[in-house]
Amino acid sequence: DAGVIQSPRHEVTEMGQEVTLRCKPISGHNSLFWYRQTMMRGLELLIYFNNNVPIDDSGMPEDRFSAKMPNASFSTLKIQPSEPRDSAVYFCASSRAGGLETQYFGPGTRLLVL
Amino acid sequence: AQSVTQLDSQVPVFEEAPVELRCNYSSSVSVYLFWYVQYPNQGLQLLLKYLSGSTLVKGINGFEAEFNKSQTSFHLRKPSVHISDTAEYFCAVSLYGGSQGNLIFGKGTKLSVKP
């Protein structure tokens, strides 16, 4: 059973460029979460979807960040334009039904914005 | 507002010694409680969770945690640690009856097991 798949695993880009992070949740899971992890702020929930619909995006830092889930097996997190302070590890997680069920995390995308 | 405090950012311990990682939370409503572990360069995985029932919860890899409502704590324990337990451990809460999916994580505790 494949776990949550994220791509790319590492991304290095220059300030001002667009960055797209991708996530494939576990088949059959209907909730998907995007997290950001930094040394300063720890692990923060950015947005989560239930049945492909965004439920809570209050953690999205600003308009430069956007997330989509066009179908049950794919989600993207886009940063445009990127800034050095966006450098972090971005995790995608999925679960069967929200916060009560176990969230399964992907391996993360390590983003460095120069 | 809800919050989670992990009192120790780093815990060094010798192999086969017992360990306790402390977690306190604040919330005006009932909560569900979780411990996740993150091994180097990996995503988080669930160790254990408390939803209801017995306040002593047993998880994977020999870990257990006890929910103490009066002290608003959910400390993680293991009676004898191994080198392979070296990792970062995160305590998290989710609101009872609230916005499902909104896990609030603590800042993490790095457990370092020395031979």
Each residue's pLDDT tens digit, B61-113: 999 999 998 999 999 999 999 999 999 999 998 865 554 567 889 999 999 99
Q: How many residues does chain B have?
A: 115
pLDDT category at A98 given cuts 50, 70, 90 is low
Which residue has tokens 């059973």? Answer: A1
User: Which residue blocks in chain B are alpha helix, DSSP H?
Assistant: none
pLDDT score, position A62: 84
* Contact assignment for A104 to B49 by CB distance below 8 Å: no
- Residue A29 token pair: 């899971």
Cβ atoms B77, B64 nearer than 8 A: yes
Q: What mean pLDDT do residues A81-98 have?
A: 91
Pairing of strands A104-105, A88-95: antiparallel
Backbone CA torsion sign across B39, B8, A57, A88: negative
CB-based burial label for A84 (10 Å; 0-12, 13-18, 19+): exposed
CA nearest to A98 within chain B: B101
Copy the structure tokens of residue A21.
């992070």
* Cα(A89)–Cα(A91) distance, integer angstroms: 6
Chain A residues within 8 Å of chain B (Cβ atoms): 4, 31, 33, 42-45, 48, 50, 55-56, 91, 93, 95, 97-100, 102-108
The whole-number pLDDT of residue B27 equals: 78
Mean pLDDT across the stretch A19-40?
Answer: 94
State chain A's mean pLDDT as an integer. 92
